[in-house]
Copies of this chain bind each other. A is one copy, B any other.
Amino acid sequence: MKTVTSLSELRAERAQLPGPVGFIPTMGYLHAGHISLVQQARNECASVVVSIFINPTQFGPNEDLANYPRDLPHDLVLLEEAGVDLVWMPTPEIMYPPGFQTWISVEHLTQGLEGGVRPGHFRGVTTVVTKLFHAVQPQKAYFGQKDAQQAAVIQRMVKDLDFPIEIMICPTRREPDGLAMSSRNSYLNPAERQAAPVLFRALSAAKGAYEAGERSAEALRQIVGAVLHTEPLAKLQYVSCADLDTLEEQESVQGKVLLSLAVYLGRTRLIDNIILG
């Protein structure tokens, strides 16, 4: 496994890799969710490239950029074990040199959900992913379903801009108690960690109601809220029952819908989702 920092090193090493190349962009502090993306890429591609870059432009001014967890030595061990060929770890100065002023915006899909409470977040995501795609030039790129809106936004961008890249969305990996794996789970204190499975319990309760015939989106949102309310440490930020393609809030559930939520546990913000239909 090779590791590179500069764009010119990345391009030189990338040019040596046999295709098809699979690519997994990450912000590091890797967990089994990331590694499952690597494994799928390993199964489907001749070469696997991973980037580790905590992208400052997708964090709001009051978000957790400075405190975002880091453990590069451990990340590199995991990636080596998983059979990655090339790891790119650019610096913020490499990605955003002085004078940088070009941005990608996906308009409608970014209005609600995460985009509604994290203004500018998706502009940072789409811009950095475009830069990473141009640098790595993969045939396939892998993202997790846990960040459902991100997955939808990236797929839309790739389609709209005719990127010659296939986007693979991989299932959310969960801890045994149902908590969706996330680098941000490391922020939780023991009590918050114990409370955290309430997100998946809430989604699962709504799924149970859906499977029993409930088709009112508001009723499903209410069920999520009610289960969340049973956990005193959890504070619901939003719950959404939206069309899976347009991400528009629904009144009645028809076709595939994305049931998603954002929750504060103390100062830690967690998101999760399931697809119904």
> Contact residues of A with B, CB < 8 Å?
7, 11, 99-109, 126-127, 130-131, 134-135, 137, 156-157, 160-164
Interfacial chain B residues near A100, Cβ < 8 Å: 160
Closest-by-CB residue of B relative to A105 is B103
Q: Which of A11, A99, A102, A137 has the most CB of B within 10 A?
A: A102
A156 and B101: CB pair below 8 A? Answer: yes
Q: How far is the CA of A107 from the CA of B164 in the complex (A)?
A: 26
Choose from B99, B131, B161, B164 the contact partner of A102 (Cβ within 8 Å): B161
Q: Which of A7, A127, A161 has the most CB of B within 10 A?
A: A161
Interfacial chain B residues near A137, Cβ < 8 Å: 164
Interfacial chain B residues near A7, Cβ < 8 Å: 162
Chain A, interface SS category: mixed
B134 and A164: CB pair below 8 A? Answer: yes
Q: How far is the CA of A137 from the CA of B137 in the complex (A)?
A: 11
A75 to chain B, nearest CB (A): 23
Closest-by-CB residue of B relative to A130 is B161
B134 and A102: CB pair below 8 A? Answer: no
Interfacial chain B residues near A108, Cβ < 8 Å: 101
A109 to chain B, nearest CB (A): 7
Q: How far is the CA of A11 from the CA of B7 in the complex (A)?
A: 27
Interfacial chain B residues near A135, Cβ < 8 Å: 162, 164
Closest-by-CB residue of B relative to A127 is B161
Q: How far is the CA of A7 from the CA of B163 in the complex (A)?
A: 11
Interfacial chain B residues near A131, Cβ < 8 Å: 160-162
B156 and A102: CB pair below 8 A? Answer: yes
Closest-by-CB residue of B relative to A10 is B162
Q: How far is the CA of A137 from the CA of B165 in the complex (A)?
A: 12
